[in-house]
Amino acid sequence: MKLLIFLIFTFSTFLGCVESNSSNTFKTAVTYSVNAKSDSLNTPITIAINAPHFQFPYQLTEPDQSYKMPSKLEEISGLTIDEENKFLYTVQDEKGNIYKIDLSSGEVTDKIDFGKDGDYEGLAYHQNTIYVTKSNGTIYEVENPNGDDPYVSTHKTNLKGKNDVEGLCYQPSSNSLLIACKGIPTMGETTEEADNRKSVYRFDLSKKKLIEKPLYKITLEKVQQFLKGATDHQEFENFKSYLNQNDNFKFSPSGIAIHPESKEIYILSSSKKMLLIINEAGDIKYLAKLNKKIHRQPEGITFGQDGTLYISNEGKGGHGVVHVYKPRY
């Protein structure tokens, strides 16, 4: 009997463990790959905390596909997808080029020139138009990007280099672009005032205007409050240490996307390799520490209409890569 209990415990450890006191409590999960040898952040592991009744539909330790990018996309940044789910589009953070990736092969099939060299970060696709943002908040509108002569217009915003814009996505419910800032959360603040807060802004496409009040605020206090509901586990104590109040806020948005069905907002952080999910009201539903062996530097995120999740990672000395995750339920 003792041997049977030991075998069941060992098997469940490899599959991952979920602890929950009741249907109204938070759930904490440690998901290992099948070849994990130790309970360590250095193994292929994803540490995740779910809000009550939230079910995360992806297995982030097991990409269904991975597309290795050419050397020119070692510093791959933002990511978006066309409305027919045939092509991904991306940029790298030095050149004014959009790269087109065929989803049937994972190959880069075209390069679209739209601007001068610069620090380009996020992309969004809507109605045969690709929007690209610079880190200083300038938005480039590239109409008919697959045509012979794409038309490019530029929209200045009140965001600046200190705001360090990284993420961009289209939000259908407001006909807006959501803009995630890695740096100073609001205009006019100093770095010290902004250490423990990050902001997401809304750019109204009907008015072609930035709404200056942040749509969402991600604060250290809000994240810590969320973490208080988690079941204790050694790995989660390590996770919480990344968000220690005695240190600067380690969550730095690098990508943003909206799930096509749930409408929840997925926000990547390249710093400390995290994924945060909030609902449309701004409530935190999920927080995960991604494995650094799979997500070396997560920079871009987008969804296909069928819910397939795509995450781009910089190469950090190697090839950039796009991981593909099919929903598991």
Mind listing the pLDDT tens digit for each residue in 216-231? 999 888 887 887 766 5
Q: What is the pLDDT of residue 15?
A: 29
Q: What is the pLDDT of residue 48?
A: 77
What is the three-class DSSP state of 30? strand
Of residues 79 and 245, more confidence is placed in 79
Confidence check: pLDDT of 302 > 90: yes
Of residues 248 and 13, more confidence is placed in 248
* Max avg pLDDT among 6-10, 182-186, 226-230, 308-312: 308-312
Residues in CB range of 242: below 8 A, 6 or more apart? 250, 272, 274, 289
Structure tokens given for 253: 């948005």
Confidence check: pLDDT of 61 > 90: no
Rounded to whole angstroms, how far apart are CA atoms 247 and 219?
13
Q: What is the pLDDT of residue 154?
A: 97
Longest alpha-carbon distance in the chain? 73
Read off the pLDDT band of 291 (50, 70, 90): confident
Confidence check: pLDDT of 95 > 70: yes
HEC per residue, 169-237: EEEHHHCEEEEEECCCCCCCCCCCCCCCEEEEEEEECCCCEEEEEEEEEEEHHHHHHHHCCCCCCHHHH
The region of weakest confidence among 110-124, 223-237, 260-274 is 223-237
Rounded to whole angstroms, how far apart are CA atoms 59 and 21?
23
**Average pLDDT for residues 18-41, to the nearest whole number?**
41
Read off the pLDDT band of 255 (50, 70, 90): very high
| Domain count within the chain | 1
Rounded to whole angstroms, how far apart are CA atoms 256 and 170?
9
pLDDT tens, residue by residue, 265-275: 999 999 889 99
**Average pLDDT for residues 92-107, to the nearest whole number?**
94
Of residues 256 and 219, more confidence is placed in 256
Confidence check: pLDDT of 42 > 60: no
Q: How many CB atoms neighbour CB 88 within 10 A?
A: 26
Read off the pLDDT band of 93 (50, 70, 90): confident
pTM, full prediction: 0.85
Q: What is the DSSP letter of 306?
A: T
Q: For the domain that residue 141 is a member of, what is the CATH number? A: 2.40.128.630
Confidence check: pLDDT of 40 > 50: no
- Residue 280 belongs to domain spanning: 2-325
Of residues 208 and 16, more confidence is placed in 208
